[in-house]
Structure 1
Amino acid sequence: MELTLRFFASFREVVGQKTIVREYDDVSTVGDVLEALTAEYPGLELHGEDGSLREYITVMRNGRDVAHIDGLDTELSGGETLSLFPPVAGG
């Protein structure tokens, strides 16, 4: 399946570009894609020590936060867009 992946702030710096398109054969969930991205870009540091998504990281599937769907178990299909936002601080 082909997915468009969008990266923001420090994640964009790690990946080197804002948007990439990737073809995945063996993924079906958001968690699968994040594991593949961590393998490709170790500097993303998406997972905590327990394997869960790090606190304050936001992942959106087609503009909707996956935390409000099925989290890392959110199912994917080809042609979708995942956007990854790192923790942000400031004021």
Structure 2
Amino acid sequence: MELTLRFFANFREVVGQKTIVRKYEGISTVGDALAELKSEYPTLELYDEDGSLREYITVMRDGKDVIHIEGLETELAGGETLSLFPPVAGG
């Protein structure tokens, strides 16, 4: 399946570009896609020590926050865009 992946803020710095397109075999959920992405970019800080997605990271599938769908179990069919936003700090 082919996915478009968009990165913001320091995630963009780690990946080195704003948008990448990847073809993945054998994945079916957002969690699967993130696991593949983490294996490609090991310094991408997506998970806590217990393996759960870090709090305040936002993952959107085609503009909708996956937390409001089925979280990391949100299904993918191919052709979607996943956008990853790191925690935002500042004031």
Report the TM-score range of the alignment, normalised by the length of the smaller protein: over 0.9
- Which segment drifts farther, 49-58 or 8-17? 49-58
Give ranges in structure 1 of 5+ residues lacking alignment.
Answer: none
1:5-59 Cα distance to aligned partner (Å, 9 max, x none): 0000000000000000000111100000110111100111101111110011000
The 2-side partners of 1:66 and 1:72 are apart by: 7
TM-score, normalised via structure 2 length: 0.97
TM-score, normalised via structure 1 length: 0.97
Give ranges in structure 2 of 5+ residues lacking alignment.
Answer: none
- Match status 1:50 vs 2:60: no
The DSSP-based 3-state class of the residue aligned with 1:72 is helix
The runs of 4+ residues in structure 1 deviating greater than 3 Å are none
The equivalent of 1:9 in structure 2 is: 9
For the aligned residue pairs, the C-alpha RMSD in angstroms reads 0.6
Number of residue pairs aligned between Structure 1 and Structure 2: 91
The equivalent of 2:66 in structure 1 is: 66
